[in-house]
Amino acid sequence: MARTASKVQELVREDAEMESAIETVLDRAEEGTVSWGDVSDELTSGQWGRLIEKGVLVDSDGEGFDVEDPEGVRDALSDDDLEFPDSPDTDSSWTKWDKMAAVVSVSMFAGYTFEAVRNPLAEVIHIFLGPLITTFDLPFFAVVMVLALFTGLYSTLLQSNLMNMEVMGEYQERMKEIQEKRKEAKERGDEEAVQRIQEEQMDAMADNLGMFKEQFRPMVWIMVLTIPVFLWMYAIIGFRGEPLYPGLADNIQPMTLPLAGETGWNTSLLGPIQTWIVWYFVCSMCFTQVIRKALNIQTSPT
């Protein structure tokens, strides 16, 4: 049975129509013997040849072919472990614009290290964000809150519009079902089934690249918009080197935090993570949750 099930599994995985072809051969076999003429109206010559090649059909002294293990084949066809959910039938490939956005976002990472990249980009962004300080006279903690609200809004909208939640849910459901079948096979001690399911699980993991591409697609656009904002804050507070605009020092005063007390923006608050980064992420997480609830936007599959 184990060897027969393995053969049937492989045939069905190669061609889903092989299942009905095998059932036809079983139905038309007389005392375990069947010839090509008996099934030529239902099977293709390729399917017939694969059954012989895999040893499901064996030569019967020149009078046709015998189904080597009829009961084993029937049991294999009725075995739920042979039936796996299909991979989602969708194209998650990126457009050329997505790829261009990825290149731009990766290139801007150089600004975290090199002033020659960071400062010119920050000066351009200052045209748009600078008025928050120079015109509205906001303290830096409030500027960070405004930016966290802004980035949280467009991040949520991009994730909602660029990720296919239905496809991601299908990927997750497929992997979950395969894992459940593997657990059941282990519990009943069916090593042959466990091996087949593990092979299917490996194939599914390779197919799950589509899900990762779906998840990462909005991230490149989010980074294109967020990295310049971060580089502007870098330059404003003088994270590496002197502040780009020393005249704004009055608006960039230390902030009083619970437990930590009065803390400078460049002070390491959580390990090497500095105060301004912690404050940004706290504000961003809070605003993002509020935005998702308010707009009823789902950014993860159910």
Q: What's the chain look like in SS3? A: CHHHHHHHHHHHHHCCCHHHHHHHHHHHCECCEECHHHHCCCCCHHHHHHHHHCCCEEECCCCCEEECCHHHHHHHHCCHHHCCCCCCCCCCCCCHHHHHHHHHHHHHHHHHCCHHHHHHHHHHHHHHHCHHHHCCCCCHHHHHHHHHHHHHHHHHHHHHHHCCHHHHHHHHHHHHHHHHHHHHHHHCCCHHHHHHHHHHHHHHHHHCHHHHHHHHHHHHHHHHHHHHHHHHHHHHHCCCCCCCCHHHHHHCCCEEECCCEEECCCCEEECCEEHHHHHHHHHHHHHHHHHHHHHCCCCCCC
Report d(CA 98, CA 93) in Å as an integer. 9
pLDDT of residue 141: 94
Q: How many CB atoms lie within 10 A of CB 22?
A: 24
Q: What pLDDT does 150 receive? A: 95
**What's the pLDDT at 258?**
82
- Model pTM? 0.65
Q: Is residue 301 part of a domain?
A: no
Instruction: Specify the pairing of strand 57-59 against strand 255-257.
Output: unpaired
Residue 256, both tokens: 């009083």
- pLDDT of 80 reads 53
Residue 27 lies in a domain: yes
For residue 89, the model assigns a pLDDT of: 55
Structure tokens belonging to residue 176: 């979950």
**Tens-binned pLDDT, residue by residue, of the chain (302 aa):** 456 766 777 777 667 678 788 888 888 776 667 888 888 888 888 888 888 888 888 887 767 788 887 777 777 776 655 555 555 555 556 889 999 999 999 999 998 888 888 889 999 999 999 999 999 999 999 999 999 999 999 999 998 888 877 777 777 777 787 788 788 778 877 777 777 777 777 777 766 676 777 778 899 999 999 999 999 998 888 876 678 888 887 888 888 888 888 988 888 888 888 999 999 999 999 999 999 999 888 766 65
Please indicate, yes or no, whether residues 50 and 138 belong to a single structural domain of this protein: no
- Give the chain's domain count: 3
- Asked whether residue 257 is assigned to any structural domain, the reply reads yes
Residues 69 and 186 in one domain: no
**Does 129 share its domain with 213?**
yes
The answer to the question of residue 58 being in a domain is yes
pLDDT of 267: 87
- Asked whether residue 244 is assigned to any structural domain, the reply reads yes
Asked whether residue 197 falls in the same domain as residue 61, the answer is no
* 18 and 66 both lie in a single domain: yes
Q: How far apart are CA 259 and CA 239, in angstroms?
A: 23
Q: Is 129 left (phi over 0), alpha (psi -120 to 50) or beta?
A: alpha
Say if 132 falls within a structural domain.
Answer: yes
Q: Which of 156, 186, 207 is the C-terminal boundary of a domain?
A: 207
What pLDDT shows up at residue 121?
Answer: 92
Residue 10 lies in a domain: yes
- Collect all residues with Cβ–Cβ distance below 8 Å to 200 and sequence separation of at least 6: 13, 84, 178
| One domain, residues 137 and 212 | yes
Segments forming the whole domain that contains residue 201: 174-207
**239 and 268 within one domain:** yes
